[in-house]
Structure 1
Amino acid sequence: MPLGIDRTHFYAEKVKRQEKEIRAKDERVAQLETENAMLYLKLAQLHGTVQSVRQENSSLNEQVESEQQFRNGVSGTAIKLHRELETIRNDLRSLQSIAIDIPEQFQKYTTQANKVVQRHRQVFQSQNSSMTSLQSQVTNMELALQEITERHAKEKKRRQELHNILMELRGNIRVHCRIRPLMEFDCGNEDSGSLGKPGTRSEVVVHFVDDENVCCRTAKHNKVFEYERVFGPTESQNDIFEEVQPMLTSLLDGYNICIMAYGQTGSGKTHTMLGSHKNEDYNPSREPHRDEGVIPRAARELFRLISEKQSATHKIEVSVLEIYNNEIRDLLSNDPSIKHDINTSTDGTVSVPTLSSKQVDTVYDVMCLVQHGLRTRRESATMVHEHSSRSHLVVTLTVISQAPSFFSKTSSGSSQDLQRDIRGRSYSTSSAPNLGNLSNTWSGADQSQASTVPGMGAVIRTKLQLVDLAGSECVGMSGVKGAALREASNINKSLSALADVLGALAEHRSHVPYRNTRLTHLLQDSIGGDAKLLVLLCVSPAQRYITESLQCLGFGTRARQVQRGPTKRRLPSSAEKVDSSSVRPRSASTATGPSFIPKPT
């Protein structure tokens, strides 16, 4: 480099120019970086667009495939439908060919049917006259049958009424029989599924024949027993009481009544006499239970009859006793140590002077006393029956009635007036004596002749005895031991004595063994006296009880053979001079008032 040349200005310019180029290059770099960033952004957008396009392409492919499959399916269905259509067309062609032949066949069948109808019409017209004649004959026969049926019913009812009157005049004891349904305990040790099957011990051998006959049919026995009334297993408690109800009218007319249930253990005696009240307290606000027995129904009917009479002319007293091991126990007394003896008056009337009686005013009072007595009645379980009664139960309802006005006449009264009264004049008077002073407790209430009560004049006492006898039983079948064996022995002894009494009465023996047991002694004036006596035989139908059933039915047959003479009416003491033999009673079923008429001379 030559010395002396100034190059500073040259280098400064060059530096400025270089810096300017550098700045331009930097700006260019920044611009390129910006463009690069924009390109990257655009590239990302293009990637997104490509992805969406791919998805759309994939969905389009799927649609295309599904449309292809649909086209293939439609094509197959169309082919199938085409085949079916072709088959239908072929069938239609066949039907058309058949339809062408139908009118001809129809015409042919119609012609044949018309011929048959014409033939039958001719036959019907030929028989129409004879049919009319037969219809007229049938109508006449139906009218004749209806008339004969009505006449038969009237004659049957009249025969029953005449039979009842004849039996009452002869004095026979009325006997009814009730067959209970077959129960589960009749099977004994057998399976309950064999109930009633032939060849088993629970087979039915006692059969209901009709209203008056019962048949006992086994391989060894085939015997029919006849009674005044026979009740089948389906008859209700109300059906039983309908036959008892007329007797209660006679009670208010002055006749003693005794209703006695007899049968083996478990035959339904207690159910017949007491019903279902033992399992629930008697509630007077409730309707009468359909299973009520004779005792509550009789009490209700008795109060109903009294309500129709003149007020304050009747009172009722109740006594409840049991005969256990041949001893009398007063079930209404608080002192069980009292020994009760039976007194027999000169006219054969029986009474227990130490027996307590309670005055009652409603059915509820009666049943409360009966239930009180039942709580102390002797019962125990045996192999035959779970609640076997071990004593004889006697419920006595004594009716104390004001004597009719003509009974108060002395023997010096006019006999013409007495006969007029007997023939049916009303007994009621304008002023009835007050019974309010009558004592609530009477001793020996079942008097044969009524007494005179101070302040009220003569009264008549009649009694309704309702007896639920203990059941006869076979000791081997019942399985009793010890004290229960002694109880069974006394029960069977007293029932045997009862049968002996009936046998003696039926055979007209000079001596009747009433005093052999307390039971027969207590019932002396009912069995052999002048009370109206109804015996309800309760029988089990099962084969295993055949011996006891035959014994029970035989007892009823002997009872029917007893002839005791006409039933006598109770008289007050002030009328004892009236000859009771000069009157005879009417049937209890028709008695509604003074039920006696003068004996013709």
Structure 2
Amino acid sequence: MPSQQRASMAEPRRACPQARVQVCVRLRPCSQGDPCIRGLNSRSLEIINWRNKKETMQYQFDTFYGDKATQHDIYTGSVQPVLRHLLEGQNASVLAYGPTGAGKTHTMLGSPEQPGMVPRALRDVLQMTREASCLPEGEEWSYSVSMSYLEIYQEKVLDLLEPSHQDLPIREDRDRNILIPGLTERELGSFGDFERYFLPASCNRTMASTRLNDRSSRSHAVLLVRVAQAQRVPPYRRRVAKLCLIDLAGSEDNRRTGNRGLQLKESSAINASLHVLSKVVDALNQGLPRVPYRDSKLTRLLQDSLGGSAHSVIIANIAPEQHFYLDTLSTLNFAAKSKQVVNRPFTQETLPAPAVRKRPSEDPAAGGEGVSPGAKRPHEDESPEAEPLSSLLPLEQLDPGLVQRLLGLEQLEKQQGGGGRRLPLLNTPRRERVALLRQLEETRSELQKLKEKQKELEAAALLDKARRPKPLQHSKAPSRPCKQAVVLPLQQVQTPLGKEAMPKGGEEILVVQKVGQVEGSGAENEAPAWELTLRPDLLARSRKNIVALLNEGSTKELRTLHRIGDKKARLIMAWRQLHGPFTQVEDLEKVEGMTAKHVASFLKANLLSSLGSLSPPAPASPRAPQ
């Protein structure tokens, strides 16, 4: 790796204590009839048991917000506390869940009089970055905030900032961070910038009217806020944190919503993705080896938020009316399962990779510059393991992730005064440590095999050079051309013909090889120049034979030609039926998929082989012996 090139290197992750998903429940005010649910205190509620209406079932969550709670109460009580982790380089996530008509969109977006969680969170994030840059210790850091906005509509990821019908892919980098290539990202310098981008984008979200709601969300909306920190002074650390604000579409009972046609298809896609979300929570709680994140675009995008690296908050919205009973009960059961999910947030900082200097080459015969004969060379009495491992490996040929981790470990060892001893792997988890050691062992083994292969090739080259005949050095006679050598059709070696000799009857000269001059002072180290030529009449007959085969041959016969497979044979047959016979071999360029380069290669490969199928020539008149 050149010393001028600076590559980012990931430090070992600074893991934080496990963070359980925080779950709060918000009860919407009752619009008609008697409610089927009521709150007991700030954390508990009870709902009528549908099996026995004289009994109730109790649920307990991190926080319960009754129908009198305001947007400010929910934000300061559950959402605002997780935002501080963004400046520590850790992810955060806020997710609104519940049935259609329970108030999810109102909770996340709110109104001009009562702003929701999204505008309040963006205002505070921008304020936190401004305040952090004004602190004495914040002068060495620069902060930037950007946003992206998307919706998941019928299992398609669509950009809302720049709307199009393109389904964007969801990818995962080597650090297991979820990202979406091609998603529009806008820099935010102030809250006014956020309003200028977000308000028009919100109008692009898919909405529709149902029996339960005049403006029902037909897609899951996800706002991604990226907070980046860069250190202006050495060691130039960099942190990137992500805030996900998610407004889920509500689960729907099509019998009550009256969905038909397109809305029925949208409802099916919404319910299917929410079902996969429930399966993911169950798999995490049961500790199953496979969590079905990839079964849905929604769960794939929420991989960081549930069982991942984020501080997550779920706001479960419920409705108190009797006709919402089953939806409310299902939402409470999902919320009760979700509060058992455990995330593992961590802070990951990136540093510029240390420069790796190339070692100066030393001449063993000269004894090395600046080293006395009796002086001991560096690493002279040390084992190969004592040298830095990065100096023994071809870093430019290895995986960049492995190189970054290797250089990071060497730097940590150097800071602890490890010297040339074997690298201590510190507190690396056992599974990663074993995998790293195995990969290093395989790399050493492969390098040893390459060295042995190189020695074999060098030995073979020396042996081949020794076997080559050397030109006469004492001869000063003028060089003269060698006689011509001919190759006959039956591969029989005949006596070379003289300049005036002619072939006998029935024998045809196919290839003439002319040997260049190899003697003389000016060509002592030059290899013979061989020129392959074909007799003009045989060349014309060979091309004529190829054209005849192209015009009259079947598909099976065409496949006997070199460079012609089954597909090209069928294309030649089709072209012949549409346009008539070929007049010359170059007409193949008109066939689909055939270029001038392909035709030249085809002609070169078939000229000699087609001579064997030529009809035998008429016998020549007997020639008098000479």
Give the TM bin, normalised by the shorter chain. 0.5 to 0.7
SS at match of 1:224: strand
Equivalent position amino acid for 2:22 in 1: R
Cα displacement (A) at 1:236: 0.5
Cα displacement (A) at 1:315: 0.8
Equivalent position amino acid for 1:479 in 2: G
Match of residue 551 from structure 1:
330
Cα displacement (A) at 1:490: 0.3
Does the aligned pair in 1 maintain the 2:19–2:345 contact within 8 Å?
Answer: yes
Matched, 1:180 2:45: no
Cα displacement (A) at 1:172: 1.7
Matched, 1:306 2:134: no
Does the aligned pair in 1 maintain the 2:142–2:232 contact within 8 Å?
Answer: no
Does the aligned pair in 2 maintain the 1:205–1:218 contact within 8 Å?
Answer: no
Match of residue 331, structure 1, among 160, 167, 182: 160
Does the aligned pair in 2 maintain the 1:207–1:217 contact within 8 Å?
Answer: no
1:28-79 CA distances to partner (integer Å, 9 max, x unpaired)? xxxxxxxxxxxxxxxxxxxxxxxxxxxxxxxxxxxxxxxxxxxxxxxxxxxx
What does 1:381-530 align with in structure 2 at a 5 Å threshold? 381-403=209-231, 409=235, 457-530=236-309
Match of residue 562 from structure 1:
341
Cα displacement (A) at 1:218: 4.5
Match of residue 297 from structure 1:
120
Does the aligned pair in 1 maintain the 2:169–2:181 contact within 8 Å?
Answer: yes
CA change 1:532–1:333 in 2 (3 A) is: same
Cα displacement (A) at 1:459: 2.4
SS at match of 1:549: helix
What does 1:253-272 align with in structure 2 at a 5 Å threshold? 253-272=88-107
Match of residue 80, structure 2, among 245, 254, 257: 245
User: Matches of 2:351 and 2:294 in 1, distance apart?
Assistant: 28
Equivalent position amino acid for 1:307 in 2: R
Cα displacement (A) at 1:170: 3.7
Q: Which has the higher contact order (CA 8 A, sep 6+)?
A: 1
What does 1:11-90 align with in structure 2 at a 5 Å threshold? none
Equivalent position amino acid for 1:223 in 2: M
Uncovered stretches (5+) of structure 1, i.e. residues with no partner = 1-167, 184-194, 197-202, 278-288, 410-456, 583-597
Does the aligned pair in 2 maintain the 1:265–1:471 contact within 8 Å?
Answer: yes
Percent identity over paired residues? 31
1:436-471 CA distances to partner (integer Å, 9 max, x unpaired)? xxxxxxxxxxxxxxxxxxxxx442111110000001
Uncovered stretches (5+) of structure 2, i.e. residues with no partner = 1-15, 135-140, 354-403, 413-426, 429-626
- The root-mean-square deviation of aligned C-alpha atoms, in Å, is 2.2
Higher helix share: 1
Equivalent position amino acid for 2:349 in 1: L
CA change 1:276–1:460 in 2 (3 A) is: same
Cα displacement (A) at 1:271: 0.6
User: Matches of 2:101 and 2:257 in 1, distance apart?
Assistant: 11
User: Matches of 1:550 and 1:574 in 2, distance apart?
Assistant: 52
SS at match of 1:496: helix
User: Matches of 1:397 and 1:219 in 2, distance apart?
Assistant: 42
Match of residue 186 from structure 2:
358
Cα displacement (A) at 1:270: 0.5
Cα displacement (A) at 1:217: 1.8
**How does the TM-score come out when normalised to structure 1?**
0.53
Equivalent position amino acid for 1:206 in 2: I
Match of residue 236 from structure 1:
70
Larger Rg: 1
Cα displacement (A) at 1:392: 0.2
Match of residue 223 from structure 1:
57
Does the aligned pair in 2 maintain the 1:403–1:572 contact within 8 Å?
Answer: no
Equivalent position amino acid for 1:553 in 2: L
Cα displacement (A) at 1:574: 3.9
Match of residue 43 from structure 1:
none
Moved more, 489-498 or 360-369: 360-369
1:190-226 CA distances to partner (integer Å, 9 max, x unpaired)? xxxxx33xxxxxx201211111112112453621111
Equivalent position amino acid for 1:325 in 2: Q
1:541-561 CA distances to partner (integer Å, 9 max, x unpaired)? 111111111111111111111
CA change 1:403–1:553 in 2 (3 A) is: farther
1:497-552 CA distances to partner (integer Å, 9 max, x unpaired)? 11110110110000000011110011112212111111000000111111111111
Does the aligned pair in 2 maintain the 1:204–1:541 contact within 8 Å?
Answer: yes
SS at match of 1:472: coil
Match of residue 4 from structure 1:
none
Aligned length: 335
